[in-house]
Amino acid sequence: MNKKIIFLGYPGSGKGTQSAMLSKEFSIYSLSTGDAFRQMMKEGKGEVADQVRNCVNNGILVSDELTFEVVKNSLPSIDNSWILDGFPRNLNQAKILNEFCPPTEVILVDIDEKIIFQRLTGRRLAKSSGKMYNVFLNPPKTEGICDESGETLIQRDDDKAEIVQKRLEVYRLETEPLIKYYQDKGILKKINGDLPIDEVYSNLREVLGF
């Protein structure tokens, strides 16, 4: 059966990691709207790229029109299985998606907001090696330096404390209502995101029947 899976959860809940693992193991097409926007920011010049940069760097949502354009142009075919990570982010997007192609299951990666703050503000990235660290939870041996490549670690602009506050507020106000929306449709499945990655993944497979 074709599965159309949505991941819901706070930024930093680990939904990106889980959707990538699922996508890889079962060869299901997966789209992260956050990644798509970061790619547009990296490559793009002009008004649209500026609009995206302004929203992402300030922790607010990109317009529903532009976001849905990205989703529609990226999904391979409505006849295939797919995973969406980071879309929909508000009720309007959920309704647009429902008209276009309704999800078959929605996974809520449930996690305490206090943990999220540390996860996001502590996150550091080594661009070349692709390694991720966390200054609180998984620090490099030498502060600010990648253990593998020796390069200087960077912090995403939107992982700075005041922007993280904003992103969490946007989640509570705009995205959290989707939990009830999908609960009422009977397709919401909750997993505990506050466990080691492999345990979260095994629970995920179980609730999806994979």
* Residue 62 touching ligand AMP (CB under 6 A): yes
To the query of whether residue 123 is one of the catalytic residues in this protein, the response is yes
Can you tell me which of 7, 10, 82, 87 binds ligand AMP, judged by CB under 6 A?
87
C-beta of residue 6 within 8 angstroms of C-beta of residue 106: yes
Nearer to ligand AMP, 93 or 203 (CB): 93
**Region from 84-92, 111-119, 135-143, 187-195 binding ligand AMP, contact rule CB under 6 A:** 84-92
To the query of whether residue 167 is one of the catalytic residues in this protein, the response is yes
* Residue 67 touching ligand AMP (CB under 6 A): yes
Degrees to nearest 5, angle at CA 19 with 17 and 22: 110
**Region from 43-51, 82-90, 111-119, 128-136 binding ligand AMP, contact rule CB under 6 A:** 82-90
In the complex, residue closest to ligand AMP by CB: 34
Instruction: Give the Cα separation of 43 and 196 in Å (integer).
Output: 34
Cα atoms in the 13 Å half-sphere on the side-chain side of 132: 10
CA 23 to chain centroid, in Å, comes to 14
Q: What is the DSSP string of 86-115?
A: S---SHHHHHHHHHH---SEEEEEE--HHH
Choose the catalytic residue: 4, 53, 89, 124. Answer: 89
Can you tell me which of 8, 31, 40, 55 binds ligand AMP, judged by CB under 6 A?
55
Can you tell me which of 4, 123, 124, 167 binds ligand AMP, judged by CB under 6 A?
167
- Pick from 21, 1, 10, 25: nearest CA to 201: 21
Instruction: Supply the residues annotated as catalytic.
Output: 15, 89, 123, 156, 167
